[in-house]
């Protein structure tokens, strides 16, 4: 398998999520989700930390339509397919799947992670997925936010005249 094929093999369609998860029984799956529109060092650091929490790291990526609803009509900058490809190329990432809802509730029901990880700008009790994760018995981990690293700041810098 060449490098491109190995990246493609990490991208799991909605229909393949449950069968793939069943092959991982007994393993600790860490799940996180987000737009990941412009990948930056904060994302890379966060994903490496999340991967260290378990045996596999599975990322749910907001679809283009979902990103537009959440971030506005000018987003995403990169298509969902491109964002998933870039994430799948990271050594810390084992699986990537997209979801079209604004919250990851439906994909969480399919992946059924042992641990759900979010960045430090979130609080456990305010997560829309808090209730379903508790019902599943999943642990929720809030990882440190990398200060000064954000897609919003990158876009602001790109727009400002230097």
pTM value surpassing 0.85: yes
- What does each of the 162 residues of the chain score in pLDDT, given as a tens digit? 898 899 999 999 999 999 999 999 999 999 999 999 988 888 999 999 999 999 999 999 999 999 999 999 999 999 999 999 999 999 999 999 999 999 999 999 999 999 999 987 788 888 999 999 999 999 999 998 766 666 666 666 677 776
Residue 162 is classified by DSSP as -
DSSP string, 72-129: -TT--SS-HHHHHHHHHTSTT--EEEEE-SSSSHHHHHHH--SEEEEETT--GGG-TT
Structural domains present in the chain: 3-12+27-159 (3.40.50.620)
Identify the pLDDT of residue 151.
66
With tokens 């969480």, the residue in question is 108
Angstrom distance (rounded) from CA 109 to CA 146: 29
Strand arrangement of the beta sheet that strand 29-34 belongs to: 95-99, 56-62, 29-34, 115-119, 139-143
- Output the pLDDT for position 119: 86
């Amino acid at each position: 398998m060449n490098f491109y094929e190995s990246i493609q093999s990490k991208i799991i369609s909605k229909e393949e999520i449950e069968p793939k998860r069943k092959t991982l029984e007994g393993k600790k799956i860490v799940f996180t989700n987000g737009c990941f529109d412009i990948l930056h060092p904060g994302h890379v650091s966060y994903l490496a930390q999340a991967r260290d929490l378990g045996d596999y790291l599975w990322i749910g990526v907001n679809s283009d339509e979902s990103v537009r609803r959440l971030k506005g009509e000018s987003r995403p900058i990169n298509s969902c397919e491109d964002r998933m490809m870039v994430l799948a190329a990271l050594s810390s990432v084992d699986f990537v799947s997209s979801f079209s809802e604004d919250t990851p509730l439906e994909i969480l029901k399919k992946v059924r992670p042992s641990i759900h990880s979010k960045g430090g700008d979130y609080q456990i009790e305010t997560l829309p997925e808090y209730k379903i994760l508790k019902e599943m018995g999943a642990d929720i981990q809030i990882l440190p936010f990398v200060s000064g690293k954000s897609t919003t700041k990158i876009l602001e810098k790109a727009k400002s005249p230097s």
